[in-house]
Chains A and B, each alone.
Chain A
């Protein structure tokens, strides 16, 4: 029966291949979960329940570049962590905040760093690779599922599908994770999630602003109730929520977009929820050397801003808490 033999061989080969590939995929996930690559590390720390500082900041790259956690930590004499993720806005990281809230036992200070796209709703997941190893975490899954249900469902429930979605950064992160595991590298996070940029104002940034068309801020009203709900959940666990609008370059808020609707909205949210709103938008925007582009502070700008933030927190009664 040559046909039966062929079919048997085919089935045996298929099953063996599947088992080997699936095992490999699991090994890749293990490596990714131990990766300290930029972006991966934060998600690993959050999703692995490893962060529970006294002050934690959530937001996108604007917050990632602004919230100088080593400085703030030293100035306030307490632990601080910058959990902001570049390219990620509230709609994507909201469930990570929820997850943090589920395991955090401290009555910590939670800062929400917002910018002009804070209240938009996205249709595509940013940097799926960072989250792909945590799809079994119901919070991570729910957050991503809200954005792209079809793809996220397949990634979680169809074996190996996830590996067709992620790009090479996933495998690079896995290799680095395995390396650090095998070499027992001391896991010191000296920057505490802060990703400074030492660049001064980019040479072509003025030209970029010249070419940029003015736009109106979009505020998706479906995001707002979620935003308020997350703040309320944090408050119910005894956390103090502070909404922060960090500095932007003057040309951006005077020529490109009007931030007043955003400021008004954040102020309303603060009043409704009883949280605090700090508006630093125009504080250091006059000097573009504090920025490397229109909306992102460089290291020097982050120091100036963080000093202001510490002062404001002190006024709030947070000194050496």
Chain B
């Protein structure tokens, strides 16, 4: 059941109406059943995996809280191993075996499909036991509420990866119907749908065409496709997050913000503070800090950074392309620290005003370009495919815009009618402007009081219905 499907609309309407009609004591059960139905709409049997992790972590949480000394660590270890074990079997086993097989062995692969959103709900479950272990969160005694914490349908399959401190207590709170929550939730859902079906899925038509025929592309058309992909994945994932946040908001729950205009970042470290925030902070809080963070020797600090991003790459997918993507970001961060050290020696006040004025925009542009470069590995099906794209782009074989008509289809560009391509391309500056304005408090104050907002909402609904692309169905991050 996809967020951009009619089935979800009906499901959500029923769940919301019933939620507010039911007395508080039954609401957790209602949401839990709804979440089970939502999850089982994909592959029903996989709910057993969720039930297993829920039972293990629920018991582990209580035992950790009641235990003392090294026993706590052992219990935490059991919980983490069981969670990571599931990930290892369902997500990484075949990758591991196929790499061994490439050395000449012949170990059969498992015939399994990756359970939907496995990495998301496993990480969320792990954050619970870690927080209980650290004493930041009391163990949840209500099994149903704990199950709901792991399974809450708005964020079950693609996050945000919530922390127990933010979400668990909300399930105990008595929720009253609030028109403000309804309105702001619907706005978020609308914005998310717009990002997904109008921008991301439209950009996907171009990127899929270009990368499917990458052999035929020129350096310029691949660059265009890459820029389009950068915004496609942003709109796809942030669109999903907006819908998740909006859906939860309508029901009276507040989930954490997952994106914050990441392409306005002036450095890669800033990018990671704005991109997939719930995952970045997860790695920071539970892996980076556990490794010692930056309170270690400088080489060790660099190792910690690099290692965390390597794991982050692996989290995204069992493929060398993701590992390389993570490694590139790890390298960027280390390089950024070195540059910052050099920059600290510059006396900025002595530089001309125009240099200072241009400094941030140039940094934003450079950050965007290098993030785009890393996306090549994220998008590619294999490392060799990625290298082909890198090679083609770096060869600068043709920078003519006319080369986009690669298959000789008249009046088309990268497989799309020219007018459609121009419209699709125009969505990118519109998105950047919207991201900028949404962060401008003065503008938002004016906007929220002005009648123009109704026109904007209407245009968004219009675009979602009449300009949406509904044939590219799944959200990219579902595969993780």
Contacts and interface: CB of A to CB of B under 8 A. Distances in A.
B458 A10 contact: no
A21 B457 contact: no
Nearest to A4: B179
B182 A154 contact: no
A171 B465 CA distance: 12
A164 B180 CA distance: 29
B330 interface: no
A3 to B, nearest CB: 4
Given A10-B186, A20-B458, A160 B179 contact: no
Interface string A162-189: 0111011001000000000000000000
Contact of B470 (A3, A7, A13, A164): A164
Given A7-B182, A10-B186, A13-B454, A161 B6 contact: yes
Interface string B453-478: 01001100110011011110000000
A161 B454 CA distance: 22
Contacts of A24: 462, 466
A163 B462 CA distance: 10
Contact of A163 (B183, B420, B465): B465
Contact of A168 (B179, B417, B462, B465): B417
A158 B5 CA distance: 13
Interface in A1-24: 3-4, 6-7, 10, 13, 17, 20-21, 24
Given A161-B6, A165-B470, A21 B186 contact: no
A126 to B, nearest CB: 14
B178 interface: yes
A6 B465 contact: no
B417 A160 contact: no
Interface string B178-191: 11101100100000
A6 B179 contact: yes
B179 A171 contact: no
A164 B468 CA distance: 7
With most chain B CB atoms within 10 A of its CB, the pick from A3, A163, A164 is A164
Contact of A6 (B180, B454, B462): B180
A2 B407 CA distance: 58
B180 A160 contact: no
A161 to B, nearest CB: 6
A321 to B, nearest CB: 41
A22 to B, nearest CB: 10
Interface residues of B, number: 20
A24 B466 CA distance: 10
A150 to B, nearest CB: 10
A13 B6 contact: no
A168 B458 contact: no
Interface in A90-129: none
Nearest to B458: A17
Interface string A18-47: 001100100000000000000000000000
Interface string B232-262: 0000000000000000000000000000000
Contacts of B186: 10
A3 B184 CA distance: 12
A10 B465 contact: no
Contacts of A154: 6
Interface in B422-465: 454, 457-458, 461-462, 465
A165 to B, nearest CB: 7
B180 A17 contact: no
Contacts of A3: 178-180
Given A13-B457, A17-B458, A20-B458, A164 B465 contact: yes
A15 B465 CA distance: 16
A264 to B, nearest CB: 39
A137 B466 CA distance: 23
Contacts of B470: 164-165
B408 to A, nearest CB: 11
B2 to A, nearest CB: 12
B420 A168 contact: yes
A24 B465 CA distance: 11
Nearest to A12: B454
A167 B182 CA distance: 31
Interface string B1-31: 0000010000000000000000000000000
A21 B6 contact: no
With most chain A CB atoms within 10 A of its CB, the pick from B6, B179, B182, B471 is B179
A13 B6 CA distance: 21
Contacts of A17: 457-458, 461
A165 B454 CA distance: 26
Given A164-B470, A168-B420, A6 B183 contact: yes
In the A-B complex, the 4 residue pairs with the smallest Cβ-Cβ separation, listed nearest first, are: A6-B179, A7-B179, A3-B179, A164-B470
Given A21-B465, A161-B6, A168-B417, 15 more contacts: A3-B178, A3-B179, A3-B180, A6-B179, A10-B183, A13-B454, A17-B461, A20-B458, A21-B461, A21-B462, A24-B462, A163-B465, A163-B466, A164-B468, A171-B466
Interface of B: 6, 178-180, 182-183, 186, 417, 420, 454, 457-458, 461-462, 465-466, 468-471
8 contacts: A7-B179, A7-B182, A10-B183, A17-B458, A20-B458, A21-B461, A164-B468, A168-B420
